């Protein structure tokens, strides 16, 4: 079983999210903090726009030669004493991870933050097979104890308020003295660290994601701010890196270029607190490190995106800037999107991975305001690709019948200018007459989606074109 999907319920999810006062309170953080921090970081770096171009080009080049770089990467990992496992599907990836855990006789595994792990529903699978997964990123730890999914790709618990987090700690950490203050984020982090410390030491396997896989050296790179990733991958005797095919970059130089736009776009940091490069298991001269190093590289539908309308989506470096700047995300949060990847990047990626039948709402729930594309560090044309999904839905008759028939009715007139002129003249006259007194309508048939929430202005009474032609006569 992969992560549960509720994307078909997007409208209902959104309605519930809008009515959830606590969630709305929590979401203000995204709008206020992420945006200004990114802007300030971009403004501090004169070459930021040029770096975005370079980042785009690096990813485009890699995707154009992905087969070569995957093979080169595999050889380098093997040369460093590690092992690469290719998984075509989520199920294969889960089975590979479980097999490695079993081989290691693992009872508990610690985990660094990994969206791929969410994508394949890894925690549920491990738990069902007698291996206890323990999330060590603070946000992931919180949503794990709440039994939730992440609502944001870099800030998984951004949908929670501090009050909710404190209540969860007091519920789960039974040893907490009632007078122990948890008001500040740092005190919460300390509390989580105290509990996690023992888990780190006891874990048999550590699983991390990867921000980049470097073909030149066989290196996997993770960036974190809490240092949990380092403990996850250094202390246990087995380290599993869980990544997808598009994480490849050719060289260390390329990776460092991408790191320069990643943190700035994500949190406005110049660089994350920890950027950790791992190449193979512990060498004889290393003071510490795992005895085994495995990389599981998942496809799960991505190779089918290569060469098609959605290839550019594979440039994504998972910074979250698109959702941080999205008015829809600000309004409804990440859970409403109904699967692992929310916001504009999810609206494009999710249909590719789980099918447009399941995810049809997501590319439609956009005003095409273009703010996502404006901030994307690798310049993914997100609105254009959302439109490409709408085209596929239209071609396959998946868009709602009311939309299709309304569009057909309108198109009939819009492609016949004389008829259109006559029809709009009548409409303007009739609506203008009815609405003249108030100047607007509080209710209109067939437009209740509009008039339930706002007034609709009455037309002035005669179309511009009719007036213009009268004047010219």
Partner 1 sequence: MLAAETQSKRGARVGLFVTCLVDLIRPSVGFAAVKLLEDAGCTVEVPRQTCCGQPAFNSGDRATARAIAEQVIAAFEPYDYVVAPSGSCAGMVKVHYPELFHSDPDWLPRVDRFCAKTFELVSFLIDVLDVTDLAASFFGIVTYHDACSGLRELGIRAQPRRLLGRVKGLNLAEMRDADVCCGFGGTFCVKYPEISNAIVAKKADHIAATGAGTLLAGDLGCLMNMAGKLQRAGYVVRARHVAEVLAGMTDQPAIGESRRAAAKE
Residues in the site for partner 1, rule: CB under 8 A? 11, 14-15, 18, 327-328, 330-332, 364-371, 373-374, 384, 387, 389-395, 399, 403, 407, 410-411, 413-418, 420-421, 424, 427-428, 436-440, 442, 447, 449-450, 452-460, 462-465, 467-468
* Closest CB 356 distance from partner 1, rounded Å: 11
**Between 48 and 420, whose beta carbon lies closer to partner 1?**
420
* Closest CB 389 distance from partner 1, rounded Å: 8
* Spatial contact of 227 and 273, defined as CB atoms under 8 Å apart: yes
**Between 403 and 433, whose beta carbon lies closer to partner 1?**
403
3-state DSSP call for residue 249?
A: strand
Distance CA 62, CA 71 (A): 12
Strands (E), 22-72: none
Neighbours of 81 (CB within 10 A): 15
* Closest CB 165 distance from partner 1, rounded Å: 25
* Closest CB 336 distance from partner 1, rounded Å: 9
Nearest Cα to 259, choosing from 246, 273, 245? 273
**Between 175 and 470, whose beta carbon lies closer to partner 1?**
470
**Between 269 and 467, whose beta carbon lies closer to partner 1?**
467
DSSP 459: P
Q: How far is CA 467 from the centre of its chain?
A: 50
Distance CA 72, CA 290 (A): 23
**Between 33 and 364, whose beta carbon lies closer to partner 1?**
364
Q: Locate tokens 């009872």: which residue?
A: 107
* Closest CB 368 distance from partner 1, rounded Å: 6
Helices marked H in 129-209: 138-146, 162-172, 185-202
**128-164 per-residue burial string, b: 16 or more CB within 10 A, e: under 16:** eeebebbbbbbbbbbbbbeeebbbbbbbbbbbbeeeb
**Between 18 and 252, whose beta carbon lies closer to partner 1?**
18
Distance CA 459, CA 340 (A): 45
* Closest CB 456 distance from partner 1, rounded Å: 6
Pairing of strands 456-457, 274-278: unpaired
Length of the chain: 473
3-state DSSP call for residue 220?
A: strand
Structure tokens at 10: 């997007």
* Closest CB 404 distance from partner 1, rounded Å: 8
Distance CA 455, CA 384 (A): 31
Q: Locate tokens 């109904």: which residue?
A: 338
**Between 54 and 309, whose beta carbon lies closer to partner 1?**
309
For residue 307, what are the contacts with CB-CB under 8 A and spacing of at least 6?
none
* Closest CB 417 distance from partner 1, rounded Å: 5
Distance CA 35, CA 321 (A): 8
* Closest CB 374 distance from partner 1, rounded Å: 6
Q: Locate tokens 């991390």: which residue?
A: 208
**Between 5 and 369, whose beta carbon lies closer to partner 1?**
369
**Between 281 and 333, whose beta carbon lies closer to partner 1?**
333
* Closest CB 106 distance from partner 1, rounded Å: 44
**Between 277 and 368, whose beta carbon lies closer to partner 1?**
368
């Amino acid at each position: 079983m992969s992560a549960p999907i509720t994307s078909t319920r997007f409208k209902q999810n959104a309605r519930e999210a809008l009515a959830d006062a606590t969630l709305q309170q929590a979401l203000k953080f995204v709008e206020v903090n992420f945006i200004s921090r990114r802007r300030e970081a971009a403004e501090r770096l004169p070459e930021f726009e040029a770096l975005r171009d370079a980042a785009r080009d690096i990813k485009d080049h890699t995707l154009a030669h992905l087969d070569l770089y995957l093979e080169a990467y595999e050889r380098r990992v093997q040369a460093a004493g590690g092992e690469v496992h290719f998984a075509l599907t989520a199920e294969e990836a889960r089975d590979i991870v479980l097999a490695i855990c079993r081989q290691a006789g693992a009872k508990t595994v610690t985990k660094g933050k990994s969206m791929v792990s969410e994508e394949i529903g890894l925690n549920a699978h491990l738990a069902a097979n007698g291996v206890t997964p323990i999330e060590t990123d603070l946000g992931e730890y919180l949503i794990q104890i709440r039994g939730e999914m992440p609502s944001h790709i870099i800030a998984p618990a951004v949908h929670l308020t501090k009050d909710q987090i404190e209540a969860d700690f007091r519920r789960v950490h039974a040893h907490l003295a009632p007078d122990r203050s948890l008001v500040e984020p740092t005190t919460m982090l300390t509390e989580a660290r105290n509990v996690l410390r023992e888990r780190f030491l006891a874990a048999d396997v550590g699983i991390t994601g990867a921000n980049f896989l470097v073909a030149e050296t066989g290196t996997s790179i993770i960036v974190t701010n809490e240092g949990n990733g380092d403990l996850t991958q250094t202390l246990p005797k087995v380290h599993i890196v869980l990544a997808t095919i598009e994480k490849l970059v050719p060289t260390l130089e390329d990776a460092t270029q991408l790191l320069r736009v990643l943190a700035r776009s994500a949190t406005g940091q110049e660089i994350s607190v920890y950027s950790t490069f791992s190449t193979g298991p512990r060498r004889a001269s290393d003071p510490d490190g795992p005895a085994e190093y495995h990389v599981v590289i998942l496809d799960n539908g991505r190779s089918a995106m290569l060469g098609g309308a959605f290839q550019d989506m594979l440039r994504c470096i998972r910074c979250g800037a698109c959702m941080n700047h999205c008015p829809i995300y600000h309004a409804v949060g990440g859970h409403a999107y109904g699967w692992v990847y929310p916001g504009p990047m999810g609206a494009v990626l999710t249909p590719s991975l789980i099918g447009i039948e399941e995810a049809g709402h997501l590319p439609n729930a956009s005003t095409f305001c273009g703010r996502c594309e404006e901030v994307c560090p690798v310049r993914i044309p997100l609105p254009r690709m959302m439109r490409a999904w709408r085209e596929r839905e239209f071609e396959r008759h998946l868009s709602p019948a009311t939309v299709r028939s309304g569009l057909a009715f309108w198109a009939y007139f819009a492609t016949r200018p004389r008829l259109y002129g006559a029809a709009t003249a009548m409409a303007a006259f009739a609506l203008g007459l009815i609405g003249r007194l108030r100047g607007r309508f509080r209710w209109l048939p067939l437009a209740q989606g509009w008039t339930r929430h706002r007034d609709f202005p009455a037309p002035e009474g005669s179309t511009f074109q009719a007036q213009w032609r009268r004047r010219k006569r």
